[in-house]
Amino acid sequence: MKNMFRFAIALAVCAIVGVGSARADEPAKIKVGILLPLTGPFAAVAETQRDGALLAVETINAKGGLSMPWGKVQVEGVVDDDETKLDVGVRRYRYMVSNGVKGVGGQTWASLAYAINAVVAKDPMPYFPTCVMSKDAYVKGKLAPSTFSTAYSPWTVGYMAGKAAIANLGKKRIYFLGRADSWGWDMRDGVAQAAKELGGEVIGYDEVSLGTTEFTAVLQKVVAAKPDIFIASQFGGDAVALLNQARQMGLDKQMTIFNAFMTNVVAKGVSPAALDGVYALEYFYYDLDGFPDQEVARSVKAFSDLYRTKYQAPPDAYAVIAYTAFMEMFRGFEKAGSFDPAKVTQALMANGGAFDTVKGPANWREDHVANYKYAAFLVKGKGADARKNEWDLFTVLGSLGAQNGETVLPSLKSLGY
């Protein structure tokens, strides 16, 4: 009798432990990490990324949560500051993981994203960088199996800028101003490839370091070279300083000016006179009125209205990069029916990696880079008189991407696949 009593107790203990384990594997609520440089030189852009990520969390929770096999699961976004420092960012990433997050997204600085990717390669976690990482990061074997990038490399930005200059604007003689790092060098190579393919020519090249505020000497060289178009890789405060000085020196009267990659937050810092007539590429633009693909135009408007209701401003490009990253993370959880990194990866890559975004269809390539039908929108800056409101900064002229069965990404072969 005693033995039977002990056996019954043992069964009860096993049952309790089993139930506890099941509940741990089937939570009613999870946390995801949102790690961004909320202080430091990229803070303004990082704030828009944070807002995009939190809106994705809110969107999922508004539907009742993630649809998992055991029921609905609410999501909490845990926000922290990486301070644009490698040691701080990696440490805070590890802290998030130790506190049980099921996935992490973020980064504005590509170097930190790559450092976290190295950690993810050793200790798998669904990781979605929200910045433009260097082309080298996507070489076969370098990106962790559970890392997915919703933004492309600077090579693609440069290739699209070169293609737009030559094919869309008819400008073949290019002067390119790079930045003395992988951002500028990759972009330089992309422009050169587009020129080679489309019959253009890079007639002048210079580069400056990140944080340059004085461009007079460089711009004098540009004027002397007499190009059809001046393409610059500068971003953030560098772009603001460059465009304002280019206007002051009268470059806009002598050539076409093209700032390769732009966001509304950056454009707001440029004087209306200096932005007037400047061409650029935007990953996302909130106003696609008159865009040929009306279905995408409606999708963009619906998302922009949602974002504006919450944040009282239209969505910036990097906010949409982050929103897309977290929505794909959540889709991966739901399709896998699990938070296991390997299962999430397999689920995202199923059916050719196809997925939908607020700016149209895309698919995950073998290198885990998003291949968009509309990778970027070609825009032209508006002067003060043409603006209807403070955010009416550009006119959308067209788009670049995979809509014609082509791609603006580097070939998989060139990346070792």
- At 253-263, the pLDDT tens digits run 999 999 999 99
Share of the chain above pLDDT 70, in %: 94
Closest CA to 322 of 53, 35, 30: 53
Look up the CATH number of the domain holding residue 342: 3.40.50.2300
- Which DSSP symbol is given to 168? I
239 and 256 share one domain: yes
Give residue 23's pLDDT. 62
Share of the chain above pLDDT 90, in %: 89
131 and 34 share one domain: yes
273 and 401 share one domain: yes
Q: Which residues contact 15 (CB under 8 A, 6 or more apart)?
A: none
190 and 234 share one domain: yes
44 is a domain residue: yes
Q: How confident is residue 404, by pLDDT bands cut at 50, 70 and 90?
A: confident
164 and 198 share one domain: yes
232 and 270 share one domain: yes
- Give me the mean pLDDT over the 184-204 stretch: 97
235 and 384 share one domain: yes
Burial class (CB in 10 A: 0-12, 13-18, 19+), 105: buried
Two tokens at 170?
């008819």
Question: Which residues form the domain of 395?
Answer: 154-282+375-415
Q: Cα separation of 263 and 280, whole Å? A: 9
261 and 226 share one domain: yes
Statement: residue 153 has pLDDT above 50: yes
pLDDT tens string 10-32: 444 444 444 444 466 799 999 99
203 and 90 share one domain: no
Q: Provide the number of structural domains found in the chain.
A: 2
Q: Cα separation of 410 and 189, whole Å? A: 11
238 is a domain residue: yes
38 and 68 share one domain: yes
Q: What angle do CA 284, 202, 405 make, to 5 degrees?
A: 45
Q: What angle do CA 310, 312, 318 make, to 5 degrees?
A: 80
Q: Cα separation of 360 and 58, whole Å? A: 21
Q: Are 190 and 159 in contact (CB under 8 A)?
A: yes
Q: Are 107 and 89 in contact (CB under 8 A)?
A: yes
15 is a domain residue: no
